[in-house]
Amino acid sequence: MKKTLFAAALMSACAAAQAQSSVTLYGRIDAGVEYMNGLPNNAGTGSTSRWRQESGDWGTSLWGLKGSEDLGGGTKAVFQLEGAFSAATGSLGLNGTLFDRIADVGLANNTFGTVLLGRQLQIANGDWDFDPFGQSNWSSASLVRGRNWEHTSNNVSYQSPKIDGFDVYGQYGLSNTTNWNAAPGAATGRTDGLQLTYTSALFQVRGIYDEIRDPSNGLLDNVFEASREYFLGANLFLGPVKVQAAYTAERTSGITASTAGTPTTADMEWGGVTWQATPAAAIIGAVYHINANNGAGNATIYTVGGSYNLSKRTLLDIQIATARNSRTANFGLDANAPGPGGLNPATGAYDENPVPGHSQSGVYAGIQHLF
């Protein structure tokens, strides 16, 4: 009889433990067909075009695990593991790294907020909530050359609860070297940032300050890779219509000399409208503009597109865009690294930046599934 009671009690305890813990597998698969013209030829002296099957144009293909355990008193232990991949090739988003986007663990409390430690999306990813095309490949990331797609390792973050519409989010990523900012050979430079958001039923406003340090020397010496960013964005909710606008300023620091065409400051503005025409169909239009100093020029992306939900988990998408460059600028539709376009003889890599002063246009259509 005692053995029977003990077994029943043990089974009840296990059932209770399972009820208080959860692990979820989730993901997103995005693929489509893309056409682009205005690409540089291999010599970087003229233009060509290309058709390709692409993954992640409407949003990064990714998969992950997240879970929580109820510790009592309103506190939970939480974790998340997330990695990007290409649906076109099956390759990882970052070679040799399974969870290149997120790998963190921490504690969450409804009253006091959430503290996480580990690899996370860099705080500039908060820009995306104010971008009409979200994480589309042709959007605000294109003109800041991917700066708002960054990730940060060795990170400690805090997300406050929402109080009277306000919430605060902060990050601090250590360089993990003997030099506080970074040192030669470091895998990552120090990062930090603070975000303040106010949300109501009618509108949302967000301000962000962040910095990303160069891992080779700890400096803020590259406007698109190691710099400070100041961000201000607003969303206006008008029934089926959402109006979005934002401004970002990228700034370097402590640079005493620079090469012509290499900017030390960059200012970007964008605005757009999303019309939820039906519960399934959305139509989007947006304009993005950047101006970089030191002869790097200015560029504007004009784009329209939309999506149609076949179900709660599956949608079709399309986007048409063109990037117009001033005489000295070479910004493309994709978030390309700075530098001349064409085939790099030293590395064998092909860079998509157009010939300075030339335009680049494209269209893609695809499908995205959530699981």
pLDDT score recorded for residue 185? 81
| Strands 314-325, 342-343: pairing kind | unpaired
Residue labelled with tokens 């406003």: 205
Total-model pTM: 0.91
Neighbours of 28 (CB within 10 A): 20
Residues 94, 99, 102, 105: what is their CA dihedral angle, to the nearest 10 degrees? Answer: -150
* pLDDT at residue 75 in the model: 97
**Biggest distance spanned by C-alpha atoms of the chain:** 89
237: burial class by Cβ within 10 Å (0-12, 13-18, 19+)?
Answer: middle
List the chain pLDDT tens, one digit each, 371 residues: 444 443 444 344 444 444 478 999 999 999 999 999 999 999 999 999 999 999 999 999 999 999 999 999 999 999 999 999 999 999 998 888 999 999 999 999 999 999 999 999 999 999 999 999 998 999 999 999 999 999 999 999 999 999 999 999 999 999 999 999 998 888 899 999 999 999 999 999 999 999 999 999 999 999 999 999 999 999 999 999 999 999 999 999 977 666 667 899 999 999 999 999 999 999 999 999 999 999 999 999 999 999 999 999 999 999 999 999 999 999 999 999 999 999 988 888 999 999 999 999 999 999 999 99
User: Would you state the pLDDT for residue 257?
Assistant: 62
Cα separation, 11 vs 70, in Å, equals 19
| C-beta contacts of 196-199 below 8 A and 24+ residues apart | 196/166, 196/167, 196/168, 197/126, 197/166, 197/167, 197/168, 197/169, 198/165, 198/166, 199/162, 199/165, 199/167
- What the chain holds in terms of domains, given with CATH numbers, is 23-370 (2.40.160.10)
Single out the residue of 135, 20, 40 nearest to residue 325, CA to CA: 40
CA distance 108 to 111: 9
List, in order, residues 6 or more apart from 62 with CB less than 8 Å away: 27, 28, 82, 83, 84, 85, 93, 101
Q: Which two tokens stand for residue 214?
A: 């160069």
